[in-house]
Copies of this chain bind each other. A is one copy, B any other.
Amino acid sequence: MSVSITEIAKRLNVSHSTVSRVLNGRGKQYASEQTARQIRDLAVELNYRPNRLASGLLRGKTNLIGVAMGRCNSSYAGGILEGVRAACEDIGYQVLLGRAKNDELSESKQVRLLLDYKVDGLICVADGWGHERILHWLDEVVMRDLPCAVIDSRAYADRVDCVVTDDVAGAAMATRHLIELGHRRIAHVGGGDIRTTSTDRRNGYLRALADAGIASDPALIQGCAYSKESATAAIQTILEVRPLPTAVFVASDGDAYWVWQTLNDRGIRVPDDIALVGYGNLDVGLGLGLTTVDQAPQTLGAMAVKRVLNRIDRPGAPHEVVELNTQLIVRRSSAARA
């Protein structure tokens, strides 16, 4: 099927190790210019390509980076993956993609599979869900000293590198934006589940209110779990409260979409009657004209690769937490009050 180093060696009457040295040798080429030339020419002619499995097996280095993540068809997850891919391409690594369904065992099964292919490093997108899940495979990774970066969770910062954004600060920034626009009764849809991202965002919201000396109203805070049903229920409950809030901060753009729909159905105009701010800078919010907080997913992915690579080069370096800045994207869903 494809030519091997041995085939080239045979044809040229040299040993296969000479061929190996010329074609795949690291550093200086221990071979005469003449032999080297012959070998290289024939390699091109026969379209020789090194077998990565063989070299990986022998050298214990595959130039593979495993990526364990859930669904990748949101602009956030897709952005992270794109960042990882771009960074990997630059440094000659390939991405081996694992898929974790949203249950604990599926993830560790996937990680184990990635390890079976002897990836040189591992990137895990925790997505805020990962706390107990990660424990299922963390030990194995740590034991093997496998370079590993976790995106979106700092829960295991002592054992792996973490690449995160500050959800508390981001949510506070979003809330502060509303406060600066003059809003005082600001509702919050989100949180109330096990994800740290949700909890952090809620805390950021609370902190911004406190900093501004605004008392938070528990009736204006409704949990929500990334679904049409929960988002709709949350905003409906909030709309029962009197006086009505003049703004809503939703912990994710996807849920903000459903909130917007519900407001629309009730004849409540955004931003005229109620201002709306989401989180995550998803594509769905773009169409909506939704003010939101960008998490720079591509940078997140690229940084994770950088951390992993750094650890491949310098094993045993202390684990780091890289915290990326979020950015407020103001669109028409939040407008200055009349």
Listed in ascending order, the chain A residues whose CB lies under 8 Å from chain B are 1-2, 47, 49-54, 56-57, 62, 64, 71-75, 77-79, 81-82, 85-86, 88-89, 94-99, 112-118, 140, 144, 257, 282-290, 297-298
Contact = CB atoms under 8 A, between A and B. Distances in A.
Contacts of A54: 57
19 contacts: A49-B112, A53-B57, A54-B57, A64-B96, A72-B78, A72-B81, A72-B82, A75-B78, A78-B78, A88-B99, A95-B97, A96-B96, A257-B286, A282-B283, A284-B286, A284-B287, A287-B289, A287-B290, A288-B288
Given A72-B85, A73-B78, A1 B144 contact: yes
Contacts of A116: 49-52
A115 B51 CA distance: 9
Contact of A288 (B64, B74, B287): B287
Count of chain copies: 2
Summarize A's interface: helix, strand, loop or mixed.
helix
A144 B287 CA distance: 45
Nearest to A288: B287
A284 to B, nearest CB: 5
B118 A53 contact: yes
Contacts of A52: 116-118
Contacts of A99: 85-86, 88-89, 95
A161 B96 CA distance: 24
Nearest to A49: B116
Closest 8 CB pairs of A and B: A287-B287, A73-B78, A287-B288, A283-B283, A78-B78, A95-B97, A85-B99, A73-B82
A72 B144 CA distance: 31
Contacts of A284: 283-284, 286-287
Given A89-B99, A257-B287, 16 more contacts: A2-B115, A47-B140, A49-B116, A50-B116, A53-B62, A57-B57, A72-B85, A74-B78, A74-B283, A75-B283, A77-B78, A81-B81, A85-B99, A94-B96, A94-B98, A284-B287
A103 to B, nearest CB: 13
A73 B71 contact: no
A287 to B, nearest CB: 3
A97 B112 contact: no
A47 B51 CA distance: 28
B85 A97 contact: yes
A205 B257 CA distance: 31
A94 B286 CA distance: 33
Contacts of A290: 287
